[in-house]
Structure 1
């Protein structure tokens, strides 16, 4: 009887630890009293402080960088609210300098959880900014996290054999653009994209505009299924 009691206590402790370690997400909309042209909807990590703080800090840094028009300025220490006000202030300065301009600035930023397991979390941040010019700027950023620590993972850390992964990715890239190679800058000179992440089907690779093709070509993305990529993965 005593043994059963101890086993139940042990099971309770294990389940409690697992529950404590689990990270969940809620969606939050950010704005400020001065905001008129920025809309931000992103996932916010909840759970153990150390883990959620690491994840939320990385997401916040991407948002702040997206709203920073002067890339020479440091934005790492700015909150999302401060970055929104800074963007609005830039627009106010623009309107003051060019009062007859009909251009209306806007910024739309959305985040989503692409993939989550007990080992890894992949987040996509989609930023669309229009500050004049021929067209707006659409940029997608993937973030990968160690689910146990919340630490950001570099692309190389996702794989146990990065060169083998690159060779496999090249084959999938060539298949993807086989009937439209003329739309790409250097289709025979393969490079990996900045964005590599997980989705429910496998590893997704995404090239933003101008990485491998002009704006008119749009985004380039393809997925390597899990059954093909599994031998090279450090995380699942």
Structure 2
């Protein structure tokens, strides 16, 4: 991951972003479940807001699954949610982060520049698949008093047998990551309508060099990469998705891995 991306991600999470309403969190289909989990929810309303008179009292609304007998997976989910609101304070849990967020909001309300702007911290983690591969999508929105809020999407790919996250290196043959990036760049340039020789100066890639990030989802069609707002394009351009079909990288993939059932069935 480029240094530029780390800087931009930090800037997004720290930015005090007119009082806009949260973006609508999308719905995703859920496959037949095989692992047992329950849905946890954390909700906080503005203490000075009458919820019987206003629908805009909600400050925090976080939902996420908690799996039975999968403590490492639950830790990964909690760590991912805690990245939504990054400050100098290190929080030990999602609940602690929420309390810190609410405390910061109360302090903000005493500021001369408050102008009745309301903080928002919304996050929903969904189980997209739950069989040989557990796939999760965390979609979040945060507003902390500035010109606009920001949204962020992140994925978790989990091997329930090995009880660990599945990295891209886990599914690639040795020494093939560079080949993956070459194929990905060709797809990216085609999607963006630019030639193989056009410079990438309009994007935020370090040294104008294309690079895959670490935010991807193993889907039945291929590996889907997602660049969030500010990551490689201005905020106004939104997110960028890049799907690498398995057919285009079949010779790079290990014949046996936690995702092999996805591309051998194609």
Which TM-score applies when normalising by structure 1? 0.76
Q: Work out whether residues 109 and 116 of structure 2, in 8 Å CA contact, stay in contact via their aligned partners in 1.
A: no
**What's 1:109 paired with?**
123
**What's 1:220 paired with?**
240
RMSD: 2.7
**What's 1:206 paired with?**
226
Which of 191, 215, 219 aligns to 1:176? It is: 191
Which of 41, 47, 54 aligns to 1:29? It is: 41
Measured in 1, the distance between the counterparts of 2:249 and 2:128 equals 17
Query: By percentage of residues, which structure has more helix?
Result: 1
Q: Partner of 1:31: helix, strand, or coil?
A: strand
Q: Work out whether residues 117 and 145 of structure 2, in 8 Å CA contact, stay in contact via their aligned partners in 1.
A: yes
Rate the CA distance shift 1:176–1:188 in 2: closer, same or farther, 3 A.
farther
Moved more, 144-153 or 182-191: 182-191
Question: How many residues are aligned here?
Answer: 206
**What's 2:112 paired with?**
98
Deviations along 1:133-172, one digit per CA (max 9) or x if unpaired, are 1211111112222221321233333322322222221121
Q: State the structure with bigger RCO (CA 8 A, min sep 6), 1 or 2.
A: 2
5 Å-filtered alignment, 1:11-90, equals 23-31=35-43, 36-46=58-68, 49=69, 52-68=70-86, 70=87, 72-75=88-91, 78-90=92-104
Rate the CA distance shift 1:74–1:66 in 2: closer, same or farther, 3 A.
same
- Per the TM alignment, residue 39 of structure 1 is displaced from its structure 2 partner at its CA by 0.4
Q: Partner of 1:128: helix, strand, or coil?
A: strand
Measured in 1, the distance between the counterparts of 2:46 and 2:252 equals 48
Moved more, 23-32 or 54-63: 23-32
Long gaps (5+) in structure 2: 1-33, 48-57, 260-266
Rate the CA distance shift 1:224–1:115 in 2: closer, same or farther, 3 A.
farther
Which TM-score applies when normalising by structure 2? 0.68
Long gaps (5+) in structure 1: 1-21
Rate the CA distance shift 1:55–1:225 in 2: closer, same or farther, 3 A.
same
Rate the CA distance shift 1:99–1:178 in 2: closer, same or farther, 3 A.
closer
Q: Partner of 1:211: helix, strand, or coil?
A: coil
Rate the CA distance shift 1:144–1:23 in 2: closer, same or farther, 3 A.
same
- Per the TM alignment, residue 179 of structure 1 is displaced from its structure 2 partner at its CA by 5.9
**What's 1:195 paired with?**
215
